[in-house]
Structure 1
């Protein structure tokens, strides 16, 4: 009989957080100054998380010197070839069960075979991380990424229609197929389908709708929802549809978007939803924006008893993601 796996809520205790060090491609940018901006941003997140729990950083051998320079001795380095640095998506999704720690190895295909993406090396990282963690590998035939789901730890998962049902990810899959696979791998019994993600996420470097910049579940029955208050931003028009898709008996807590609406590429997707919950803390995105303080206060209320630390995430978002996107928690297995 197959063990019944369960994905714990992010608020449950962790053994550590996994990350991957930026070492190539668009994440580093075109100049050495761009590369240092990326290294600094990843390092600031890693060192902020390390205040709460151990951080294990996967590093391409060609970038180990840079990683050690920026991280010092506070972060453990493990070497493996990398294409990119989005550990939430290329790493495993950890679960727990009677057999201890499990690691779901989704099929990774560069966020739906994006033209700029390279994933030959990244597609092998989940297996490597599972080995290092001593986890039972749980292979999945579904193309998926960790940023494409959020669980409450009590049997409910949030997903978006434009990710798991993306024809470039899972051609021919129906809702019931996705739901069956999420039940098998994550131990959930209820799937909440949001209709889509944020507008910018459908641009050149987007994921086509990851839920982890849209909504998260700080506790069962409560959702933190990204809200764009300004009607000049295209995300303002999707708020009603997102709310309507959530269970009627859930409490919705608004996390308003920053006041900044655009950058040189168009409407931004800056989102305070994209935070990481740690042991005793929350590492949250800030944007040098007037709404930063309001967002941090809202998170402190949602995660009462945890210390909320803000890290400037503008450099990370300019590369296509945020703090949650570059981290992956490994839950603690009850003894």
Structure 2
């Protein structure tokens, strides 16, 4: 096989591996991984994918479909660098070596220090290893999982709705509804796309939110974010969120870095922070807002009920800098999406 032909065959097999990986669970601690095993001539011998925690990894799943010795001299095309650790299952790098695989091609290197190193183990055993095939596609496919693995915390979206003058509620505390139905529908769709949704105990006590993701017709989306409550005040036993499809996770909120690391260990890769000025301000002040969603209503309220509280900014040079990523109309309202500016200075509690 010529070099050009082999490259084309590898790329086609990697795209197939992504299709296989997509069959695995999109949420949880483990990444979605797919594997295609090719003969020395480029024919597909076996396929596999990871079905979730405690099940065979993609490489082992594919190898299990072959007779002993059938993988000798074969090429394994894998979406993620083969793991190098023993957990509920053994290291995939060793399984490939034992099967006699001669060549391994992967898309994205594993950033998890507990699992990384598979490529080096394979090379030490004489296996030809190539990384970075369709890397951009691999990074996009594994986006949330890679972020959580690299930063040791979930990706965090902070959302609020306000009037044009930045008020989240009227002086008497009423806030339903600042924005219209199109904006609210957008929020619920984004909730459904998140692993978890967070509020503070103040919001629970004041508004008794259900924290579910609802379709425009009022029914629940199939995918529901796990409710997370930050704060030391007790959540009432009859609170609406106690009837959520998922059991709520209760966190003290006194050490966000520790709390977020705990959420990551529970398989939470993306967190939708929605609950009140106090919680939103805490995340922004700590440099932990990876995305801002600001829903602006064409109204003026005035008064003390600001969407954000104190951020510890004493002078304009200390302002938290963001870049506009998107601005769109949603009915009568406006959605502004912003991400941290690349040159924004790091905050003390920011993940790294």
Shorter-chain TM range is: under 0.3
Give the alignment's TM-score, normalised by structure 2.
0.25
| TM-score, normalising length: structure 1 | 0.26
- The structure richer in strand per residue is 1
